[in-house]
Chains A and B, each alone.
Chain A
Amino acid sequence: MEFGPLWLSIQLAIITTIVLIVLGAPLAWWLSQTQSRWQPVVQAIVAMPIVLPPTVLGFYLLVLLGPQGTFGGWWVQLTGDALTFSFLGLVIASCVYSLPFAVQPMQSAFEALSKKNLEAAWTLGASKLDAFFSVAAPLSVRGFLGAVVLSFAHTLGEFGVVLMVGGNIPGKTRVVSIAIYDHVETLNYGAANRLSLLLIGFAFVVLFGMFLVNRRRRSW
């Protein structure tokens, strides 16, 4: 039984989720609070990965991250390694691809906060950053939880973008969805079936666990 691809997928999903929460929270906060006329523009850009086929995203990421691309070229100069067909490249691609799934739950939670509640925190001596961590974030736990579940699940299940940017290098970019596709291509249905069942079981356990935590929170 090959656990390698599944383990790689899990690593990718965990790292992507962490990056998306850390980077997505400030973005979601800005989107929820700003009066700027650029807000709808940024909002639309963030939502793009939902509508675009993964191949379109994957294609442009490939161009951008590739050694000839702006970002990829600069990265090669800096580190000597290419971003495409590497695990780091996969992380970047996954973050772009799953961004809306992290930002939107957090943004909705932030939008539901009462402005006056935050103002109360400021007048009590909390700086804006302090008020975010001591009032806004704890009151938005469900939003964070939603963001974690969706980015994790979405990254675990992605295929198209990974195929375009990461290819199929065992131990580096051969995530579980690619491995399954590979087995099917080579008519190895048994292996495809085992991996698929493993993924189904794992996804169910993770989601069930998350929703159980969420349900407990509600009854606190």
Chain B
Amino acid sequence: MVTTIQLKHSVHKGAFHLDVDVSIPATGITGVFGESGSGKTTLLRCIAGLEESSSNDRRPVHKRRIGYVFQQPQLFAHLNVRKNIEYGLRRNPDRGVSFAGVVRLLELEGLLDRPATELSGGEAQRVSIARVLCQAPELILMDEPLAALDERRKDDVLPYLDRLHAQSSVPIIYVSHNIDEICRLSDHLLIMDNGRVVADGDLQSTLMLLDLPQLAGRNAGAVIEASLSRYDPEYDLTLFRFSGGELWVPGKFDSDAVRLRIAANDVSLTVVPTESSTILNILPAVIDATVPESGATQLLRLKLGEDFLIARITRRSSQKLQLQVGVKVYAQIKSVTVRL
């Protein structure tokens, strides 16, 4: 049983150098995050064999058993949905993939006889994912599969990616410049800058690396694994429990284990506990690290039980309340995003 996948690629294209040598878990989703031009796509193309690299893998593209989901679905316009999905299946028979199972997973039953040219963006991307699953890949590469879709259409595809994550054992490398997608989908995180991997590790701890510019600004935030405690029908709130306490989240959730994303901008601090606040979730925490930002603000890393949060506060408040490492505070959490 292979438990890690070794990625070792180096490419020189004009002024751009890609130099990657990391190993990633052979299960779950590995997110690759970075600015455009940081080499994310080039890395995927090297893995797939679409780009010449110094890797030891000399097999031609079609013998690699690596699925590739492109930003645009790249469906074959002369074939209908069924034939598109069967394209990979026919070329990789006897691998025990169930066409019906894949179609069910992506809920494409009603679209099979449609021409590939008559699909919405979200439907087309679902078909392209089904097509890749049917080839029974050992590894799936996804290159910004949602980037070409508008916000509403993203929600047509994201639930299926969640489902794929939960039900499939095929490892996925997911490239995106959108931190929300990365936090929602990945278990492991690689951060790329200028052709190099600047950080890699499990999602939660990598997000805590406050000094990385890729994780600054709007992207700063934490992810917490939590379990369902109970639902309060009177106020339509669900209570989740994690190592640092309990969190109320609006709405009803059925899943036992969830992932909560809390952005740094949604966390504020008080030194004394307050009962007279409209904020639902106020949790005791200890300041674990502080990192200055350019301008008025700074980031604080807070420890709550075994988990961490990130808060963005002004340097002025920090000075006034004398917020230093080791100080006990109360984190007021304004908003939580839930991933089932």
By a CB distance below 8 angstroms, the chain B residues around A88 are: none
Interface check B33, CB cutoff 8 A: no
Which residue of chain A has its CB nearest to the CB of B66? A123
By a CB distance below 8 angstroms, the chain B residues around A135 are: 76, 78
CB contacts under 8 Å to B, within A107-123, are: 114, 116-117, 119-123
CB pair B78 A124 closer than 8 Å? no
Interface check A127, CB cutoff 8 A: yes
Which of A119, A123, A139 touches B76 (beta carbons < 8 Å)? Answer: A139
By a CB distance below 8 angstroms, the chain A residues around B66 are: 123
By a CB distance below 8 angstroms, the chain B residues around A114 are: 74
CB pair B48 A123 closer than 8 Å? yes
Which of B60, B77, B88 touches A124 (beta carbons < 8 Å)? Answer: B88
Interface check A40, CB cutoff 8 A: no
A123 in contact with B77 given A116-B70, A116-B72, A130-B91 (CB within 8 Å)? no
Interface check B135, CB cutoff 8 A: yes
CB contacts under 8 Å to A, within B29-68, are: 48, 50, 60-68
Which residue of chain A has its CB nearest to the CB of B45? A119
CA distance A33 to B63 in the complex (A): 22
Which of B63, B65, B68 touches A120 (beta carbons < 8 Å)? Answer: B68
The dominant DSSP class at the A interface is helix
Query: Shortest distance in angstroms between A131's beta carbon and chain B's nearest beta carbon?
Result: 8
Interface check B99, CB cutoff 8 A: no
By a CB distance below 8 angstroms, the chain A residues around B64 are: 123
Which residue of chain A has its CB nearest to the CB of B91? A125
CB pair B91 A123 closer than 8 Å? no
CA distance A134 to B77 in the complex (A): 12
CA distance A121 to B92 in the complex (A): 12
A125 in contact with B74 given A119-B50, A120-B68 (CB within 8 Å)? no
By a CB distance below 8 angstroms, the chain A residues around B50 are: 119, 122-123
Q: Number of B interface residues, CB 8 Å?
A: 25
Query: Shortest distance in angstroms between B314's beta carbon and chain A's nearest beta carbon?
Result: 46
By a CB distance below 8 angstroms, the chain B residues around A121 are: 76, 87
A124 in contact with B131 given A130-B91, A139-B78 (CB within 8 Å)? yes
CB pair B70 A124 closer than 8 Å? no
Chain A-chain B contacts (Cβ-Cβ < 8 Å), number: 62
Which of B68, B87, B128 touches A119 (beta carbons < 8 Å)? Answer: B68
Interface check A15, CB cutoff 8 A: no
CB pair A123 B67 closer than 8 Å? yes
Q: Which of A114, A121, A138 is most buried by chain B, counting CB atoms within 10 A of its CB?
A: A121
Interface check A47, CB cutoff 8 A: no
Which of A123, A138, A139 touches B62 (beta carbons < 8 Å)? Answer: A123
CB pair A124 B132 closer than 8 Å? yes
A139 in contact with B77 given A123-B62, A124-B87 (CB within 8 Å)? yes
Which of B60, B65, B131 touches A127 (beta carbons < 8 Å)? Answer: B60
Interface check A92, CB cutoff 8 A: no
Interface check A126, CB cutoff 8 A: yes
Query: Shortest distance in angstroms between B30's beta carbon and chain A's nearest beta carbon?
Result: 18
CB contacts under 8 Å to A, within B145-174, are: none
CA distance A100 to B176 in the complex (A): 45
CA distance A119 to B73 in the complex (A): 12
CA distance A138 to B76 in the complex (A): 10
Which residue of chain B has its CB nearest to the CB of A127? B62
CA distance A164 to B63 in the complex (A): 52
In the complex, per-residue mask of A53-64: 1 if CB is within 8 Å of any chain B CB, else 0? 000000000000
Which residue of chain A has its CB nearest to the CB of B93? A125
Query: Shortest distance in angstroms between A186's beta carbon and chain B's nearest beta carbon?
Result: 53
CA distance A120 to B48 in the complex (A): 10
By a CB distance below 8 angstroms, the chain A residues around B78 are: 135, 138-139
CB pair A120 B74 closer than 8 Å? yes
Query: Shortest distance in angstroms between A72's beta carbon and chain B's nearest beta carbon?
Result: 42
CB pair B91 A126 closer than 8 Å? yes
CB pair A123 B61 closer than 8 Å? yes
CB contacts under 8 Å to A, within B167-209, are: none
Query: Shortest distance in angstroms between B126's beta carbon and chain A's nearest beta carbon?
Result: 15
CA distance A117 to B132 in the complex (A): 13
CA distance A117 to B50 in the complex (A): 12
By a CB distance below 8 angstroms, the chain B residues around A134 are: 87
By a CB distance below 8 angstroms, the chain A residues around B62 are: 122-128, 130
CA distance A114 to B72 in the complex (A): 11
Which residue of chain B has its CB nearest to the CB of A135? B76
Q: Which of A116, A120, A138 is most buried by chain B, counting CB atoms within 10 A of its CB?
A: A120
CB pair B70 A125 closer than 8 Å? no
CB pair B135 A125 closer than 8 Å? yes
CA distance A116 to B68 in the complex (A): 11
In the complex, per-residue mask of A127-168: 1 if CB is within 8 Å of any chain B CB, else 0? 110100011001100000000000000000000000000000
Query: Shortest distance in angstroms between A136's beta carbon and chain B's nearest beta carbon?
Result: 10
Query: Shortest distance in angstroms between A144's beta carbon and chain B's nearest beta carbon?
Result: 13
Can you name 5 A-B pairs with beta carbons within 8 Å?
A: A121-B87, A123-B68, A124-B87, A126-B87, A126-B91
Closest 3 CB pairs of A and B: A125-B91, A124-B88, A120-B74
* Known contacts A116-B74, A120-B76, A121-B87, then 10 further A-B pairs from the complex at CB < 8 Å, ordered by chain A residue: A116-B70, A117-B74, A119-B74, A120-B70, A123-B64, A124-B67, A124-B131, A126-B91, A134-B87, A138-B78
